[in-house]
Homo-oligomer: A and B are copies of this chain.
């Protein structure tokens, strides 16, 4: 099943994606079994971030080739950082490069696990059962700020820097897929989605030693590689078996 959120009548509404239409739902599939209350065509849908997470977790260095390229040590255990909900945006919505950005402005293609249960001190089996489904994230980053600032606050969390979508796929072996990053239709990176140092379940087991996870929490799993973006580009991230997250890039104050 593919679940998402769209804007309908000016309000966020959960939906279930069929071939050419989205069934609008009475509530969140994370909190029960909602009923169908209407439909909108896929072609004209106004896609929202698939969920607004209670906590937005993000894994940093998690792909061996990324770690080798960065020249850092391979993490000895799963750890996480955080991203911020203000930065979320939906499929087809613009990524806006702020006025002050200089230097490399980049996309990072990431698999995202969406948590479906409340859990603490999870076993590996409980960790598997706790993932409701999978979506795609673009960890847009302004590198000069990333190196200059004391935290990743504006380098990775300026408004629109975290596209997430287009939907949550509940029926896929996410770690057996391929992630492909394209800019203006040209492939810039392609890697095995599951080639991770620690997979989502390893992270959930370690995290829940200290932290309670809740339905709707998201865990972004890191990227093997990145590529530059310029205003006017369109960036697509495809994860086979899940879908394609596509976003145009604009300059602040200069929508194009």
Main secondary structure of the interface of A (DSSP, over half): loop
Q: How many chain copies does the complex carry? A: 2
Q: CB of A16 within 8 A of chain B?
A: no
- Tell me if A150 and B79 are in contact (CB < 8 A): yes
Minimum CB–CB distance from A76 to chain B (whole Å) comes to 10
Q: In the complex, which residue of chain B has the Cβ closest to the Cβ of A79?
A: B150
The interface bits of chain A over 125-150 (1 if a CB of B lies within 8 angstroms of the residue's CB, else 0) are: 00000000000000000000000011
The interface bits of chain A over 74-115 (1 if a CB of B lies within 8 angstroms of the residue's CB, else 0) are: 010001111111110000000000101000000000000000
- Tell me if A80 and B159 are in contact (CB < 8 A): no
Q: Which residues of B sit under 8 angstroms from A83, Cβ to Cβ?
A: 82
Q: CB of A187 within 8 A of chain B?
A: no
- Tell me if A211 and B157 are in contact (CB < 8 A): yes
Specify which of B60, B100, B209, B211 is in contact with A86 (CB 8 Å cutoff).
B211
- Tell me if A80 and B211 are in contact (CB < 8 A): no
- Tell me if A80 and B212 are in contact (CB < 8 A): no
Specify which of B79, B100, B151 is in contact with A153 (CB 8 Å cutoff).
B79
Q: Which residues of B sit under 8 angstroms from A212, Cβ to Cβ?
A: 86, 159
Minimum CB–CB distance from A118 to chain B (whole Å) comes to 10
Q: Can you list 24 residue pairs at the A/B interface with Cβ under 8 Å?
A: A52-B54, A55-B86, A79-B149, A79-B150, A79-B153, A80-B151, A80-B153, A81-B151, A81-B153, A82-B82, A82-B151, A82-B153, A86-B211, A86-B213, A86-B214, A100-B209, A120-B159, A154-B211, A157-B210, A157-B211, A158-B210, A158-B211, A159-B210, A159-B212
